Amino acid sequence: MNNSEKSTVTEFVLLGFPGGQEMQIFLFSLFFGVYISTMMGNGTIVCAVRWDQRLHTPMYILLGKFAFLKIWYISSTVPSMLANILSETKTISFAGCFLQFYFFTSLGTTETYLLCVMAYDRYLAICRPLHYPTIMTLQLCYILMFLCWLFGFLSYSVPAVQLSHLSFCGPNIIDHFLCDMDPLMSLSCAPAPITEIVFYILSSLIIILTLLYILGSYTLLLIAVLKVPSAAGQRKAFSTCGSHLTVVCLFFGGLLAMYLSPTSENPAELQKIITLFYSVVTPFLNPLIYTLRNKEMKAALKHILTQSNILK
């Protein structure tokens, strides 16, 4: 096959979600509302941590950066999905498709690393409370967050470049609402087993190792909490960790179903639902999970709203 034949595909067609015009309008309204709510909810957490001095501790700084990450994570998929719903051609450029794939996977990887750091923070706070202030300093907190972003964006840089250099000579139709590994690999003209193996080994290692670390941290944490003599102390410890553990279960549940199960045997619609769950639903639920169960965060939000009313 010559080079001109290999470079025939200059854009991809994202089929998105099935349905007539009325269904497309409904889906656009639904996802637009979810996106705006997610941006406002997570943005409020970011502002609360930034402006309230009482939240300038490692735990809340990590929470603020996690909310900031969620804003970027949902923004890597939903705006293009909304544009795709309104589009008649439903096309995305070759470069745009692989950029979306890279940012979507990199931001998701950054989230897994950041969840590990948050678990480490809770482990230190509850299992080693006397040493916590000297170990988890603000400097260490910022260094760990920087490393999460750095390694998050480095992890899939090689697979993304390898994938973009495959030959795509047609067809160019992707039965999904975003550019992901499985549909792109299926469109490649020539088999690329090494690229596929590297991607899935890397994905498996990242998901399994980070999940095992988080579960290990919470196992030690649970043992320590059960040794607390007072019921009030146990409730306080569980309340500070319950929100984080809920987010971990929601996010990793979707990742495990998508990347560590035989998704090739699943219908395309099921893959879309799973992807929607961990890429759209979890960022949407994040503010609700962390604010409804956290007294300090609720107090900070009330303080900000009170200050804004005074300024008006």
Q: What is the mean pLDDT of each run of 10 residues along the chain (312 residues)?
A: 55 90 94 96 91 89 95 96 91 93 96 96 90 94 97 94 87 91 86 85 93 93 80 69 86 83 64 90 90 74 66 52
Structure tokens that stand for 57 in this block: 């501790």
Helix (H) or strand (E) holding 69: helix 58-75
Query: Rounded to the nearest 10 degrees, how much is the dihedral formed by the CA atoms of 266, 271, 272, 275?
Result: 170
How many CB atoms within 10 Å of residue 109? Answer: 23
Helices marked H in 77-191 — which ranges?
Answer: 78-86, 94-127, 132-135, 138-155, 157-164, 181-187
Asked whether 76 and 97 are in contact (CB, 8 A), the reply is: no
* DSSP bridge pairs for 93: 11
Residue 225 forms part of a structural domain: yes
* pLDDT, position 120: 95
C-beta separation of 43 from 71 below 8 A: yes
Q: How many CA atoms lie within 13 A of 106 on its CB side?
A: 23
At 5 the pLDDT is 42
Number of domains in the chain: 1
Q: What is the pLDDT of residue 297?
A: 78
What is the model's pTM?
0.90
Q: Which amino acid type is present at position 29?
A: S
Domain that holds residue 126: 11-311
Report yes or no on 1 lying in a domain: no
Tokens of 152: 């998050």
Does a structural domain hold residue 158?
yes
Residue 4 maps to a domain:
no
In a domain, 254, yes or no: yes
Q: Is 5 contained in some domain?
A: no
Residue 191 falls in which region: left (phi positive, over 0), alpha (psi -120 to 50) or beta: beta
Please tell me whether residue 41 adopts helix, strand or coil conformation: helix
In a domain, 48, yes or no: yes
* pLDDT score for 310: 54
SS3 label, residue 170: coil
Q: Is residue 228 part of a domain?
A: yes
DSSP secondary structure of 98-127: HHHHHHHHHHHHHHHHHHHHHHHHHHHHHH
The count of other CB atoms within 10 Å of the CB of residue 147 is 13
**pLDDT for res 262:** 55
CATH number, domain at 61? 1.20.1070.10
**What is the secondary structure of 221-262 as a DSSP string?**
HHHHHHT-S-HHHHHHHHHHHHHHHHHHHHHHHHHHHHHSS-
